[in-house]
Amino acid sequence: MGISILLADDHRLFAIGVSKLLEGFPEFKLVGQVENGREVVLYLEKNSQVDVLVIDLNMPIMNGIQLLPYLNRKYPEIRKLVMSGQRNKTTLEMCKNLGANGFIGKDACLQEFTDALKRIATGGEYFPSFEAVRNHRPNGAPCLYQKMRDVFSLSDRETQILQMILNQAEGKEIANKLHLSPHTVKTHRKNIYRKLNVHNVSGLLGLIREHPQL
């Protein structure tokens, strides 16, 4: 059957992307998708076949921070990978202390994600070095975004907006955070889609899936 994975993340677009990416790896099987810690609890009460639980920290009703101690008490055999946008030393240490077996950022490239899953599923741990966390640039273009910038000749601003789009940010939110007008963001989005030859976010996810070397 391979490594069975349960994904807990309330961002549906991100969850769909993870599901599509995992389809290309026969050694992994996504057995379920839930949107908060309470749904994780309900799922595990009815389904025992979960090898690795991929958890987002920020979820409604019951978040990842509340969920981890419960899992350690009730389901110690299930391996836990935190996948969060809060990539910093403090968050990493907190997850480690709460019993997570691994931690990666949501901006991780596909290779890092699959490496983390394999290592955790076989009893190991996967935590980036503190040096890597310290050198991480939230507003830069690490890994996947760096490669997409180079391959598709994106500008720094386009790469930054692409990262925000793939992290489920809406146009107004992007404009506010980058101090741009909504019209400017819309123009950047149009140019990004043109360069990548896609028409929407689903197209972006499909592009990433079809080119795992990114």
Q: What CA–CA distance (Å, rounded) separates 129 from 178?
A: 29
CB 53 within 8 A of CB 74: no
Q: What CA–CA distance (Å, rounded) separates 191 from 168?
A: 18
Q: What CA–CA distance (Å, rounded) separates 182 from 174?
A: 8
Q: What CA–CA distance (Å, rounded) separates 8 from 81?
A: 10
Tell me which residue has tokens 């140019």: 191
Q: Residues for the chain: how many in total?
A: 214
- 158-169 tens-digit pLDDT: 988 988 887 667
Q: What CA–CA distance (Å, rounded) separates 149 from 109?
A: 13
Share of the chain above pLDDT 90, in %: 39
Measure the CA angle with vertex 136, ends 112 and 82; round to 5°.
Answer: 50
Q: Confidence class of residue 185 from pLDDT cuts 50, 70 and 90? A: very high
- Lowest-confidence range among 67-81, 136-150, 167-181? 136-150
Residue 94 pLDDT > 60, yes or no? yes
Phi and psi for 7 in degrees, rounded to 5? Answer: -105, 125
Strand order of the sheet with strand 79-84? 28-34, 3-8, 52-55, 79-84, 102-105
Q: What CA–CA distance (Å, rounded) separates 104 from 128?
A: 7
Q: Please provide the average confidence, as pLDDT, over all residues in the chain.
A: 84
Q: What CA–CA distance (Å, rounded) separates 21 from 206?
A: 9
- Lowest-confidence range among 108-117, 138-147, 164-173? 138-147
Q: What pLDDT was estimated at residue 212?
A: 54
Q: What pLDDT was estimated at residue 90?
A: 78
CB 14 within 8 A of CB 8: no
Residue 122 pLDDT > 60, yes or no? yes
Q: What is the mean pLDDT of residues 82-101?
A: 84
Question: Could you tell me the pTM of the whole model?
Answer: 0.64
Share of the chain above pLDDT 70, in %: 88
Residue 141 pLDDT > 50, yes or no? no
| 122: three-class secondary structure by DSSP | coil
Q: What pLDDT was estimated at residue 167?
A: 66
